[in-house]
């Protein structure tokens, strides 16, 4: 390589100068904190007395034998597996419909965006009301004759339904946000592509599959990644839903909720909580990497 | 300066001096210490409007008497935030401690031991003082109030079903027959499942007294859960029998948030609830015609549950003299009168109860009577863990997926696993 010119050196210097504040802030508040969590995961910690005992891999070994942790991980992965594809597909379809030439699309765009503006805790309470024994969902099922009168399902207290209610809630509240992203990108999609497809004899569905979907692929990658990370880290909805217990029968216990319970309950087990957090981070990285690879390999154009 | 002028000045000076002296004599007449220019931080959790008004009155009185500032630090998520404050060594000088988490917080070594004589502890109900005594016999908190469970009944619903309040049994053993008949009559009058005979809660805070009866307790010496003994299983089955018979329903089964709401909207005839519901019934559901009686006897013993909160002094506080004066004021007869009559709870000491004349109100009289026979909501250091595991698995027993023994074994194993992990 040739010796850098004076001008190049000058530019480099400037560049490093400009990124220094960001690196410092991120380094201190995220980098050091993350490293500290790694350190804590090998310790038995009592933060109250400031005692740290090195316990080697004990926390990790214990975690792999903990049936509750397995249950929490299964819950989180199931949640992600169902929510991420659903929210991506629905957002994509809704966006392409809203981008079409339909009447009142601006009104629909506004209405569809409302759930994103609602705080997730308020949303959870609304859904808990809707799915309660005497709530609208049960009333509807009873009116339709699907359920006998006076025997609504207690969705909130039934292990086979609780997590599914949270899934529906999560899909409902995240779709608008992703729809907006898709819409923004669709605005730039040149109409000539659709025209060319029409001349080739493509119908609406074919145009959607062969023009819209491939064009939006970079956005899809982003939506998938944030979706996976968001769902695997899901905490607030499960916390409010189960009043922090992860019940009934651990059916709404997510990994993040478990971390919280060990770190801030009357458990005083920051070390074990850190271990769970580290494993969760590794799982998220692995799943994200996998999804990116899969998405990239489906190159259609 | 003339002599006359000089005399005049002397007289004026003496007058001013006398005036100042008499003012300070008024302010500190009863030997109140002067904390002028200092600030005491009191850690509390938020309450309803009445509680807020009561604590503001206490704060204003204390500030006036001691010429100081009281800073109320209101926690929204008490358990998490105060732990963070302990870790950061920034906890308030004096703070609330819930009886149920007292064993855990006392184990952290963040509270000073208190001298029983200094705080008149012999005037307090002994079971409440015991609830704030640690394993070494030190009292670390002074109780500030207590609430107890009692039986609330809806007179109109009972009468519509052809009963009078006197028909409600005094013994749980007679409840099954009574409630079965009552539920059948309520179904007849109001339609199937429209009105429940009685509510219950899936919570150790409510079920503890039944579960522990006749057993060696629900924890062992190390604080691990012992839920699987035959006695506990039999007691659990006693609760589940009511549920299986359809005469005990949770408020959530009725599509409502809590007992007070279910009772207030006339959806249930009988509930066991704490005295905090009394104010709610009077203000929010004033059309409900209700009465209150003692809790039923279980296997020959009169029980209730008590929920108490105390004040502890932070070990690292620099204002311990102020904290101590605060506790003495708010847990003294005058302070308790302001707090308990305002917030709607029972005073933790008999002399204050007398001064408040709790006996004159039939509802308060019952709750006060229950204070003596109640067992505190406590289960060693790991109460929260054990209760979470209990609440987590109880729905499985209620739905019939598990027997009482299977459910308790599952809850015990989860609780003890978590206790071991926390180690």
Q: What is the pLDDT of residues B265-311, one digit of tens each?
A: 999 999 999 999 998 899 899 999 999 999 999 999 999 999 999 99
| pLDDT for res A300 | 46
Among A44, A67, A248, whose Cβ lies nearest the Cβ of B395? A248
Query: Is residue A22 a part of any domain in this protein?
Result: no
CB A109 within 8 A of CB A98: yes
By C-alpha distance, which of B192, B115, B182 is closest to B153? B182
pLDDT exceeds 50 at position B83: yes
Task: Measure A242 CA to nearest chain B CA, in Å.
Answer: 9
Query: Is residue A191 a part of any domain in this protein?
Result: yes
Among A48, A134, A264, whose Cβ lies nearest the Cβ of B255? A134
CB B314 within 8 A of CB B40: no
- Residues A178-191: what's their mean pLDDT? 88
Q: If you measure CA to CA, which chain A residue comes closest to B195? A: A150
d(C-alpha B139, C-alpha B97), whole Å: 13
Among A157, A266, A272, whose Cβ lies nearest the Cβ of B252? A157
Q: Report yes or no for ipTM above 0.85.
A: no
Optimal mutation site among A75, A132, A244, A249, interface B, most CBs of chain B within 10 A: A249
Confidence bin at B23 (pLDDT 50/70/90): very low
Q: How far is CA A14 from the centre of its chain?
A: 37
Confidence bin at A111 (pLDDT 50/70/90): confident
User: Could you give the residue range(s) of every CATH 3.40.190.10 domain in chain B?
Assistant: 39-146+306-376, 149-304+379-422
d(C-alpha A121, C-alpha B91), whole Å: 28
Q: Is B84 helix (H, G, I), strand (E, B) or coil?
A: helix
Cβ burial B205-219 (10 Å sphere, 16+ → b, else e): bbbbbbbbbebeebb
By C-alpha distance, which of B115, B111, B114 is closest to B102? B111
Would the CB atoms of A265 and B79 count as touching at under 8 Å? Answer: yes
Show which residues on chain A lie within 8 Å of chain B, measured between beta carbons.
44, 47-49, 62, 66-68, 132-135, 149-152, 154, 156-159, 243-250, 261-262, 264-269, 272
Task: Measure B252 CA to nearest chain A CA, in Å.
Answer: 7
Angle, CA A220 vertex, CA A218 and CA A221 arms, to 5°: 65
pLDDT exceeds 50 at position B18: no
| Beta strand extents in A150-298 (DSSP E only) | none
Strand partners, A54: A43
Task: Measure B83 CA to nearest chain A CA, in Å.
Answer: 8
Locate B117 and state its tokens.
Answer: 């004589």
pLDDT exceeds 60 at position B30: no
Optimal mutation site among B102, B250, B255, B407, interface A, most CBs of chain A within 10 A: B255
Torsional class of B195: left (φ above 0), alpha (ψ -120 to 50), beta (otherwise): beta
How many structural domains compose chain A? Answer: 1
Would the CB atoms of A44 and B384 count as touching at under 8 Å? Answer: no
Confidence bin at B153 (pLDDT 50/70/90): very high
Place of tokens 């009685």: B198
Query: Is residue A224 a part of any domain in this protein?
Result: yes
d(C-alpha B335, C-alpha B144), whole Å: 9
Q: Please count the other Cβ atoms lying within 10 Å of the Cβ belonging to residue B36.
A: 10
Q: What CATH class does B149-304+379-422 carry?
A: alpha beta
CATH of domain B39-146+306-376: 3.40.190.10
> In the 8-state DSSP scheme, what is residue B218?
S
Torsional class of B191: left (φ above 0), alpha (ψ -120 to 50), beta (otherwise): left
Q: Is the dihedral of CA B398, B403, B405, B409 positive or negative?
A: negative
Query: Is residue A186 a part of any domain in this protein?
Result: yes
- Using one digit for the tens of pLDDT, what is the confidence trace for A202-221? 888 888 888 888 888 888 98
pLDDT exceeds 60 at position B138: yes
Q: Is B95 helix (H, G, I), strand (E, B) or coil?
A: strand
d(C-alpha B412, C-alpha B379), whole Å: 13
Strand partners, A107: none
pLDDT exceeds 70 at position B22: no
DSSP H or E stretch at residue B304: strand B304-313
Strand partners, B145: B309
Q: Please count the other Cβ atoms lying within 10 Å of the Cβ belonging to residue B172.
A: 18
Q: If you measure CA to CA, which chain B residue comes closest to A158? A: B395
Query: Is residue A251 a part of any domain in this protein?
Result: yes
Query: Is residue A6 a part of any domain in this protein?
Result: no
Q: Give the domain range for residue A194.
A: 66-297
Would the CB atoms of A67 and B422 count as touching at under 8 Å? Answer: no
Query: Is residue A197 a part of any domain in this protein?
Result: yes
**CATH code: domain of residue A244:** 1.10.3720.10
pLDDT exceeds 80 at position B27: no
Task: Measure B72 CA to nearest chain A CA, in Å.
Answer: 23
Task: Measure B390 CA to nearest chain A CA, in Å.
Answer: 9
Would the CB atoms of B109 and A250 count as touching at under 8 Å? Answer: no
Task: Report, in angstroms and rounded to the nearest whole number, the Rg of chain B calculated over CA atoms.
Answer: 26
d(C-alpha B113, C-alpha B118), whole Å: 12
Cβ burial B360-386 (10 Å sphere, 16+ → b, else e): eeebbbbbbbbbebbebbbbbbbbbbb
Residue ranges in B311-379 assigned as alpha helix (H) = 320-330, 333-343, 350-356, 362-373
- Using one digit for the tens of pLDDT, what is the confidence trace for A234-285? 998 899 888 888 878 899 999 999 999 888 876 778 899 999 999 999 999 9
């Amino acid at each position: 390589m040739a010796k850098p010119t004076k001008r190049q050196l000058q530019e480099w210097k400037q560049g490093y100068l400009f990124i220094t504040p960001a690196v410092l802030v991120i380094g201190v508040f995220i980098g050091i904190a993350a490293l500290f969590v790694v350190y804590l995961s090998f310790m038995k910690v009592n933060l109250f007395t400031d005692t740290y005992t090195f316990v080697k891999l004990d926390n990790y070994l214990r975690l792999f034998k903990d049936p509750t942790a397995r249950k929490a991980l299964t819950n989180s992965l199931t949640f992600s597996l169902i929510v991420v594809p659903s929210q991506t597909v629905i957002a994509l379809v809704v966006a392409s419909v809203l981008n079409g030439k339909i009447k009142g699309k601006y009104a629909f765009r506004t209405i569809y965006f409302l759930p994103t503006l609602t705080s997730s805790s308020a949303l959870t309470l609304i859904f808990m009301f809707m799915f309660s024994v005497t709530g609208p969902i049960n009333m509807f099922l009873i009116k339709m004759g699907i359920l006998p009168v006076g025997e609504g399902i207690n969705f909130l207290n039934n292990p086979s339904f609780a997590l599914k209610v949270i899934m529906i809630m999560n899909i409902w509240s995240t779709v608008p946000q992703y729809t907006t992203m898709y819409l923004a990108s669709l605005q730039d999609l040149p109409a000539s592509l659709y025209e060319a497809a029409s001349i080739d004899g493509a119908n609406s569905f074919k145009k959607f599959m062969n023009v819209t979907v491939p064009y939006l692929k970079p956005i899809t990658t982003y939506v998938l990644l944030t979706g996976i990370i968001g769902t695997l880290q899901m905490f607030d909805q499960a916390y409010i839903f189960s009043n922090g217990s992860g019940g009934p029968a651990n059916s709404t216990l997510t990994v993040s909720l478990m971390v919280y319970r060990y770190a801030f309950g009357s458990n005083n087990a920051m070390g074990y909580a850190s271990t769970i957090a580290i494993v969760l981070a590794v799982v998220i990285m692995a799943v994200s990497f996998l999804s990116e690879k899969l998405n990239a390999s489906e190159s259609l154009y | 300066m003339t002599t006359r002028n000089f005399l005049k000045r002397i007289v004026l000076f003496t007058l001013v001096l006398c005036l100042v002296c008499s003012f300070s004599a008024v302010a500190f007449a009863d030997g109140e210490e002067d904390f002028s220019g200092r600030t005491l931080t009191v850690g509390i959790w938020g309450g309803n409007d009445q509680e807020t008004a009561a604590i503001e009155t206490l704060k204003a009185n204390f500030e006036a008497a001691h010429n100081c500032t009281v800073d109320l630090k209101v926690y929204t998520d008490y358990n998490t935030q105060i732990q963070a404050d302990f870790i950061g060594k920034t906890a308030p000088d004096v703070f609330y401690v819930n009886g149920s988490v007292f064993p855990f917080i006392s184990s952290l070594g963040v509270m000073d031991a208190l001298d029983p004589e200094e705080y008149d502890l012999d005037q307090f109900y002994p079971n409440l003082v015991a609830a704030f005594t640690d394993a070494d016999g030190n009292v670390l908190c002074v109780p500030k109030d207590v609430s107890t469970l009692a039986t609330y009944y809806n007179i109109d619903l009972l009468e519509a079903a052809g009963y009078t309040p006197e028909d409600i049994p005094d013994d749980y053993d007679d409840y099954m027959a009574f409630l079965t008949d009552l539920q059948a009559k309520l179904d007849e009058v109001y339609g199937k499942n429209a009105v429940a005979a009685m509510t219950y809660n899936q919570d150790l805070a409510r079920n503890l007294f039944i579960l522990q009866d006749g057993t060696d307790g629900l924890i062992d010496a190390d604080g691990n859960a012992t839920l699987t003994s035959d006695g506990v299983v039999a007691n659990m089955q006693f609760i589940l029998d009511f549920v299986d018979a359809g005469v005990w329903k949770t408020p959530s089964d009725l599509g409502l948030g809590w007992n007070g709401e279910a009772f207030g909207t006339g959806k249930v005839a009988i509930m066991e609830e704490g005295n905090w519901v009394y104010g709610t019934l009077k203000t929010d559901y004033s059309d409900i015609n209700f009465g209150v009686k003692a809790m039923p006897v279980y296997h020959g013993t009169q029980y209730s549950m008590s929920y108490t909160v105390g004040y502890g002094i932070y070990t690292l506080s620099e204002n311990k003299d102020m904290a101590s004066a605060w506790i003495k004021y708010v847990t003294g007869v005058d302070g308790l009168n302001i707090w308990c009559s305002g917030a709607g709870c029972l005073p933790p000491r008999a002399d204050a109860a007398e001064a408040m004349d709790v006996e004159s109100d039939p509802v308060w009289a019952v709750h006060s009577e229950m204070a003596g026979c109640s067992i505190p909501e406590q289960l060693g250091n790991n109460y929260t863990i054990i209760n979470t595991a209990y609440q987590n698995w109880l729905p499985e027993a209620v739905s019939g997926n598990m027997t009482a023994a299977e459910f308790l074994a599952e809850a015990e194993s989860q609780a003890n696993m978590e206790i071991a992990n926390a180690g």
